[in-house]
Structure 1
Amino acid sequence: MKRYFFFFCYLFSSVMLCAQESATWIWYPGDFEVWLSNDMQNRRTERGTFFPPFWRMDNHYVLVEFHKEFDVPTDEEIAIVAEGKYNVKVNGKMIPGMPAKLNLKKGKQKITIKVYNQGHVPALYVSGKTVNTSKDWLVTFEDKEWIDETGKASDQSGTTYVKAGHWNFDQPTRFPSKFKLPTRLEQAVSSTKHGSGTLVDFGKNTFGFLTFHQLKGNGKLSVYYGESKEEALGTATCETLDYIEVARSSSTDSTLDLSKAFRYVYIEKQGDVSFDQVSMQYEYLPVEDRGAFKSSDEELNNIWEVAKYTMELTSREFYIDGIKRDRWIWSGDAYQSYAMNYYLGFDSETVKRTILALRGKEPTMSHINTIMDYTFYWFLSIYDYYQYTGDKEFIEAVYPRMQSLMEFCLARRNKDGLMEGLSGDWVFIDWADGLSKKGEVSFEQLLLCRSLETMALCANLLQQQDDQVFYDKEAKLLKTKLFDYYWNPTKQAFVHSRINGKQTENVTRYTNMFAVFFDYLSNEQQQAVKTNVLLNDRVQKIMTPYMRYYELESLCAMGEKDYVMQEMKSYWGGMLKLGATTFWEEFNPAKSGAEHYTMYGREFGKSLCHSWGASPIYLLGKYYLGVKPTSAGYQTYEIDPYLASLQWMEGKVPTPAGEIDLYVSEKKIKVKSPIGVGTLKIKSKSKPKSKNGTIVQLDQDTYTMEVHAGVAYEVDYRL
């Protein structure tokens, strides 16, 4: 059996001291992300039963070749560490065995290493004075070399090489396969007797590993977890639980193997089992707090802080939906998490990991998460990523996967060139009672159109001109159909769907509100949509934070920021008034008591810590602090602050080069930025004044001022 174990080749003492910081573990791009996502998403349990994802799970390539050419300035020794079996070639010549050390001569040297690993991702770490593994190494899972009957090797290769994948594994003993999130000790706030057991309260929703201190005896512990007190005490219907057999003659601390989400834990004992107290190891993704928001409104400040904590909990190895139930990577949920992240931690690495994990491997057999709209959100997320980060290298790496996924989508269009749910397709849109998914749903055509526009933008960025022309043409054709087939001139809105080639009568909010911030509507159409749909209580209301996010964004885009501020305080503030410590998957103010916890036909099926509940972070950063990039990576950007009912607000918005600091009151604006050239927009009753900025008047009460990197500006104005 030894041949199936990992082969870890590493060096100690003096060789390790010589390892350069520039060396890092590398792998085939996307493979570590796929492997890690499989590991994470298969931790889900429901009442102790293993509960895997609904969709196809891919795997890493088991045999990968790595190579790079170097011009070695002097003779040097390199150290080689691999996760898996490997062989080494130098300038095409095979080196005997699996060398842990290798001497290289001065001059041009091509290092080629093949790594095989069935159980984990084939990964490589090479370190020396000048020869180090990095993102610039080329890798392939193919090997199209051949040898003819005379023993002559092929002169040409059809092998496709790509740049290596990597993250932050920068030490030879820090194996990618051993990755775990860090933990820290957290104590419960109370522990009380309840019925035949003990109810432990940690004070707020949290996530980690439960620890029993001084556990001993023989018998069993029954552990029931709850995001609410009712759930923890609902031993027959709570979503997650553990049954633990105990056989200990002496007292020891014991930490459970599987992390769980909870605020309350109810524990019942059988036999003579005893323990002193219960604590937890809080598991978290270490991300620097870069974004910030504070204002004169304490309720709004509390909403921002709870949204921030919700985001912290759902940011794990990847951006997941909710910490209690699924713990899976859903593309629609992740798309919103990316946007919130750009105004909070600006953690580009987790965005990239999540995008790659969602895409998976070829061949493409179904939509991402099996959901049509979630495939389209995946496309949209990539150009957004470029807009905020300016990371062209990632777009270059992921573009072939964009192409193949778009080919899959376009091949599934019907005779009218529209997307319609086929066998195996889940048309989701939103959780809403009675929402029809039949026929050709306008929302899906809208998202496909935006996805095609994204493809054209990325093709242009990468100078793929034929691709750009093709995708641009397809996007324009579909946009024309969107208006021809779905815009109802009588209703002055998009209808929900077509069935058998005819418009249905139903008008829903989804297509209409997305069309606003996609900038697909004329000013006249926008006003009609605002009146007839978004501010019309006769149109079915949205109950999920998931779609409230987009509804409120569309209203912000149309200047209804006072209304949106009231809605944020009412909707998210409504959850806080009910004692929420994190924001929920769904909130209906008409419900009461334990009704709030029900979903999916289960008493405690609803997630009370859901990533899409954290959207005030994005709304406050983009539309009230008013900061957004207008070209890639904040080389140019806009600051358009809006106080609404606030007397003052201040905050930080992260960028690739640091944070934009902003303070706004009714009389003064202070701003300092570390990057690019910004345009500060100012609404003022008289011309603003600034000692070191140039004020330009746009119209009667609107002014602008350029903001340059490294300069602290103060502006006096009259709101």
Structure 2
Amino acid sequence: MKNLKKILLLSIFTCLTYPIFAQKASWIWYPGDFDIYMSNVMQNRRTERGSFFPVFWKMDSHYVLVDFHKEFTLSQPEEVKLFVEGTYNVKIDGQAISGFPKTIQIPAGKHKLSLKVYSQGALPAIFVQGKTVVSDETWLTTFEDKEWIDQSGKVSDKSGTTFVTAGSWNLTDPNVLPSKFKLPVVAHFATKKEIAGKGYVADFGKETFGFIKVHGLKGKGKLNLYYGESKEEALSIDKCETLDFLDIDLAQKKDSIMPLSKAFRYVNFQPDNGVTADSISMLYEYAPVTERGSFKSSDTELNKIYDVAKYTFQLNTREFFIDGIKRDRWVWSGDAYQSYLMNYYSFFDAPTVKRTLLAQRGKDPVTAHINTIMDYSFYWFLGIYDYYKYTGDEKFVQDIYPRMQSLMTYIDGRKNKNGLLEWMPGDWIFIDWADKLSKDGEVSFEQLLYARSLETMALCAKLANDSENAAKYDVEAKALKAKIFELYWNQNKQALVHSRVQDKPTDNVTRYANMFGIFFDYFTPEQKIAVKENVLLNDKIAKITTPYMRFYELEALCAMGEQSYVLKEMKSYWGGMLKLGATSFWEEYNPDKKGVEHLEMYGRPYGKSLCHAWGASPIYLLGKYYLGVSPVTAGYETYNIEPSLGGLEWMEGKVPTVNGDISVYMNKKEIKVSSAVGTGTLKIKSKSKPVVKGTEVKEVSKGKYEITIEKGKDYLVKYSG
């Protein structure tokens, strides 16, 4: 209990999922509703130079009237406390209790406790605390109970109501309403300041996020604060992206905290004559996730890349996984999909993955693609199956499966006469930020993601015990895959072409569909080699300049065993940002740009995000393809460890799982492995048969060996690299 109290004192928010919470009361609501509610709150905090900047897609809302109930058997009478957000009634065994009771007495025996809550502004939520009767995710809930009473006063026996289990964020303080939820903050101070204009520019040392606090503010006039991820941006009072304007009228000194959190490294503090302040500091706002994954190697630059990537990712891990902390702060599906994968190799914070997936999907009916982007709908599907693969959480898949079906039904209804997808009014085909990238016609990349999403639907239908649709989706996925290779594979170019326009394939070859085809394992071994040589390692094919798509390009190369090449690319690309002074990784990096050109984007001199979640992909690449750890069956019940130095002298690290960590150390002669979970297979390339005590070494082909890894044991393997 002492540890629990410490956590609660830190914040009502926790991402921990340990069993300590299993029997504790928590605020509960209709599943997905708080995720939608909080994403609305968060995403509508965006401003651009002081103006409100709302999202441009449909925003859903919570259900305003929700019924909660739980059946239980008490061995003795119990006093139960009730905390409710909204107007409510309470029933025990169908009998209403008058008024709005804060405490109720429940006699011994079998009973059903019901609460029906109405709330328009904030979502209906309850917190029930007794000795054994507590609100948690085992409660059932519905937004329409279809209950009716006939002329005799009898309640219907069969209401046709669909009940689902409640949602929760493990908010365990009954005195803090869910609508008052805030992330925790801690005080940070500037490292130095430099005189500028009537004030000064404060440097906080690195990219950061939070609320500026002005100490000892006094006087009458205006105080202007200009924020910058770069010093140039903070000094540009006409072009900086974010700012605060304050009217001051204080006879006595007073501390003042800005109303909205901002992203910055530099703050340009400019007061009118007659306005003074003692100093400024900040309240750093953060999500209290736990660092579990790690990586360290013989290459100090690579270690710095990993550390900065993890810091970048942590800054963009908030109530949800967001795109970037300065500009959008929105829940973009494509950005979030990469965050899920990085998360599995760093924090392994399952609740934030679930929250983000629920927030993105919203409610039925579906009227547009997620974020209005075709490819982003597909990333949403992929994120759900990956979540199951890494966590083994079958219940979440079953709960969200109906929302998967309705989104897929929407997508299926937009196929053209060829059974393919192309741009329709209201769609945005994104793919990547790239000059002259055509989105016309039937783009092969979209069909590839569509096929993978149908495969995901088949797998999730099986988990949801929907065998009929599992078979249907499987047939559709196989048919679409066959059609992709029939229509897009160019035998002369030995690659998939980019698109078909007016029923004819173009000659244009881009990297996107080809690199996804590799790690989707859609190509034959011969096609993979051809694509690697003709596309991925071909400088004549248009280069990728965003970390977003470099993520997938380098993953495809790693999947082809090109870790040595990828290591050089990581050091060049992410190391290039570090050499320019980056303290977090950017939305886009083009080494051909110079000076302040690196800050430009969207036609604005400081439009680029210098802290973007998709810039943190080395976390994933180093965990999955260098330490080499990945699940084979759900929740790491079985898994592979296929380490690759890729030119390093040595490396070590931990990969987190739902039930513990997997540790790997490797140099050119030894591999050390220990695991807290499942049964693993260590795959090694060695010139001679590896030596290890206490287990068998199996040769699977010339120079390739496998060793079974059991949980709770330490292994030292000697090999010849």
For normalisation by structure 2, the TM-score amounts to 0.96
Distance 2:177 2:349 in 1: 22
Query: Which residue of the partner structure matches residue 67 of structure 2?
Result: 65
Match of 1:135 among 133, 137, 150: 137
Letter aligned with residue 648 of structure 1: W
Distance 1:235 1:130 in 2: 59
CA contact (8 A) 1:21 1:170 kept: no
1:619 alignment partner, SS class = helix
Most deviating of 217-226 and 168-177: 168-177
Query: Which residue of the partner structure matches residue 503 of structure 2?
Result: 501
Q: CA deviation at 1:290?
A: 0.1
Distance 1:124 1:267 in 2: 44
Query: Which residue of the partner structure matches residue 437 of structure 2?
Result: 435
Letter aligned with residue 182 of structure 2: K
Q: CA deviation at 1:150?
A: 4.4
Matched, 1:450 2:429: no
Letter aligned with residue 40 of structure 1: M
Q: CA deviation at 1:125?
A: 1.1
Q: CA deviation at 1:452?
A: 0.5
Matches for 1:188-207 after TM superposition, within 5 Å: 188-207=190-209
Distance 1:20 1:333 in 2: 32
Distance 1:672 1:174 in 2: 42
Letter aligned with residue 510 of structure 2: T
Query: Which residue of the partner structure matches residue 693 of structure 2?
Result: 691
Query: Which residue of the partner structure matches residue 322 of structure 1?
Result: 324
Match of 1:614 among 598, 616, 627: 616
Letter aligned with residue 554 of structure 2: L
Letter aligned with residue 212 of structure 1: V
Matched, 1:301 2:319: no
Deviations 1:483-539 (A, max 9, x none): 111111121111111111111111111001000000000011111111111111111
Query: Which residue of the partner structure matches residue 82 of structure 2?
Result: 80
The answer for unaligned runs of 5 or more in structure 2 is: 1-20
Q: CA deviation at 1:463?
A: 2.2
Letter aligned with residue 161 of structure 1: F
Query: Which residue of the partner structure matches residue 528 of structure 1?
Result: 530
Most deviating of 289-298 and 152-161: 152-161
Distance 2:79 2:154 in 1: 31
1:328 alignment partner, SS class = coil
Distance 1:664 1:565 in 2: 16
Distance 1:375 1:539 in 2: 27
CA contact (8 A) 2:198 2:272 kept: no
1:166 alignment partner, SS class = coil
Match of 1:161 among 155, 160, 163: 163
Letter aligned with residue 273 of structure 1: V
Query: Which residue of the partner structure matches residue 4 of structure 1?
Result: none
CA contact (8 A) 1:26 1:135 kept: yes
CA contact (8 A) 2:25 2:134 kept: yes
Match of 1:705 among 698, 704, 707: 707
Q: CA deviation at 1:194?
A: 1.9
Q: CA deviation at 1:699?
A: 2.3
Q: CA deviation at 1:715?
A: 1.1
Letter aligned with residue 64 of structure 1: V
Q: CA deviation at 1:61?
A: 0.4
Letter aligned with residue 495 of structure 1: V
Match of 2:654 among 643, 652, 655: 652
CA contact (8 A) 1:599 1:606 kept: yes
Letter aligned with residue 498 of structure 1: R
Letter aligned with residue 156 of structure 1: K
Query: Which residue of the partner structure matches residue 5 of structure 1?
Result: none
Q: CA deviation at 1:276?
A: 1.5
Q: CA deviation at 1:130?
A: 2.0
Matches for 1:128-277 after TM superposition, within 5 Å: 128-277=130-279
Matched, 1:597 2:619: no
Distance 1:238 1:634 in 2: 46
Q: CA deviation at 1:149?
A: 4.1
Letter aligned with residue 219 of structure 2: G
Distance 2:702 2:427 in 1: 53
Letter aligned with residue 462 of structure 1: A
Distance 1:491 1:232 in 2: 49
2:276 alignment partner, SS class = coil
Distance 1:631 1:21 in 2: 29
Distance 1:700 1:447 in 2: 36
Q: CA deviation at 1:234?
A: 1.1
Letter aligned with residue 465 of structure 1: S
CA contact (8 A) 1:688 1:717 kept: yes
Query: Which residue of the partner structure matches residue 637 of structure 2?
Result: 635
Query: Which residue of the partner structure matches residue 104 of structure 2?
Result: 102
1:363 alignment partner, SS class = coil
Query: Which residue of the partner structure matches residue 10 of structure 1?
Result: none
Match of 2:381 among 379, 382, 398: 379
Q: CA deviation at 1:195?
A: 3.3
Name the Cα RMSD after superposition: 1.2
Matches for 1:537-616 after TM superposition, within 5 Å: 537-616=539-618
Q: CA deviation at 1:458?
A: 0.8
Q: CA deviation at 1:148?
A: 3.4
Match of 1:93 among 69, 92, 95: 95
Query: Which residue of the partner structure matches residue 396 of structure 2?
Result: 394
CA contact (8 A) 2:563 2:645 kept: no
Query: Which residue of the partner structure matches residue 11 of structure 1?
Result: none
2:275 alignment partner, SS class = coil
Q: CA deviation at 1:424?
A: 0.6
Q: CA deviation at 1:313?
A: 0.5
Q: CA deviation at 1:171?
A: 2.8
Query: Which residue of the partner structure matches residue 13 of structure 2?
Result: none
Distance 1:191 1:504 in 2: 56
Q: CA deviation at 1:709?
A: 0.6
Most deviating of 290-299 and 491-500: 491-500
Q: CA deviation at 1:701?
A: 1.6
Letter aligned with residue 536 of structure 1: N
CA contact (8 A) 2:141 2:164 kept: yes
CA contact (8 A) 2:65 2:117 kept: yes
Query: Which residue of the partner structure matches residue 360 of structure 1?
Result: 362
CA contact (8 A) 1:693 1:713 kept: no
CA contact (8 A) 1:20 1:129 kept: no
CA contact (8 A) 2:494 2:527 kept: yes
Letter aligned with residue 718 of structure 1: S
1:365 alignment partner, SS class = coil
Q: CA deviation at 1:462?
A: 2.4
Letter aligned with residue 303 of structure 1: I
Q: CA deviation at 1:143?
A: 2.5
State the percentage of identical aligned residues: 61
Letter aligned with residue 528 of structure 1: A
Q: CA deviation at 1:695?
A: 1.4
Distance 2:254 2:604 in 1: 37
Distance 2:427 2:493 in 1: 30
Distance 1:342 1:152 in 2: 52
Q: CA deviation at 1:661?
A: 1.3
2:701 alignment partner, SS class = coil
Matched, 1:462 2:433: no
Q: CA deviation at 1:84?
A: 0.7
Distance 1:482 1:341 in 2: 32
Q: How many residues align?
A: 701
1:109 alignment partner, SS class = strand
Deviations 1:64-120 (A, max 9, x none): 000111112112121111111111111111221121111112211011110111110
Q: CA deviation at 1:560?
A: 1.1
The answer for unaligned runs of 5 or more in structure 1 is: 1-18
Letter aligned with residue 241 of structure 2: E
Query: Which residue of the partner structure matches residue 56 of structure 2?
Result: 54
Distance 1:463 1:558 in 2: 35
